[in-house]
Amino acid sequence: MPKLSFFGAAGAVTGSNFLIETTEHKYVVDCGLFQGSPNLTQFNDDEFSYEPSSVDALIVTHAHLDHIGRIPKLVRDGFRGPIYATQPTIELMSLTLKDAVELMDHRNQRDGKPVIYEEEDVRRTMALCRAVSYKTVQPLNGKDSVTFYDAGHILGSASVLVEADGKQFAFSGDVGHAPNILLPHSETPPTADVVVTEATYGGVEHNDETDREKVLLDAIEWTIQNRGVLLIPAFAIERSQELLYLLNDLFNTRKLPKIPIFFDSPLAIEALEVFEKHGQQFSAQVKEVEKKDPEIFSFRGLVLTPTVENSKDINDQPPPKVIIAGSGMMEGGRIFHHLKRYLSHRNTLLLVIGYQAEGTLGRRIVDGDKEITINGDRIPIRATIKVVDIFSGHADNTDMIEWVKNIKPNSRQQKVFIVHSDPERAKVFQSNLAEELPEAAIDIAQLNQVVEL
pLDDT at 267 over 80: yes
CATH of the domain spanning 3-204+393-452:
3.60.15.10
Give the percent of the chain with pLDDT over 90.
Answer: 84
Alpha helices in 171-283 (DSSP H): 212-225, 239-252, 266-277
pLDDT tens, position by position, 22-34: 999 999 999 999 9
User: Beta strands 384-387 and 348-352: pairing type?
Assistant: parallel
261 three-class SS = strand
User: Beta strands 261-264 and 167-171: pairing type?
Assistant: unpaired
Question: Where in the chain are the domains?
Answer: 3-204+393-452, 212-387
pTM listed for this prediction: 0.93
192 three-class SS = strand
Which residues contact residue 316 at a Cβ distance below 8 angstroms, ignoring those fewer than 6 apart?
A: none
Same fold flag, 3-204+393-452 and 212-387:
no
CATH architecture of 212-387: 3-Layer(aba) Sandwich (3.40)
The rounded distance, in Å, linking the Cα atoms of 272 and 263 is 11
pLDDT tens, position by position, 390-429: 888 899 999 999 999 999 998 888 999 999 999 999 999 9
Q: How many CB atoms lie within 10 A of CB 51?
A: 12
pLDDT at 210 over 80: no
pLDDT tens, position by position, 437-453: 999 999 999 999 999 98
Work out the pLDDT band at 209, boundaries 50, 70, 90: low
Amino acid identity, residue 435?
E
| pLDDT value, residue 389 | 82
pLDDT tens, position by position, 353-392: 988 878 888 899 999 999 998 888 899 999 999 999 888 8
Q: Which of 336, 406, 348 is nearest to 375 (CA)?
A: 336
For residues 24-49, average pLDDT: 90
pLDDT at 206 over 90: no
| pLDDT value, residue 323 | 98
34 three-class SS = coil
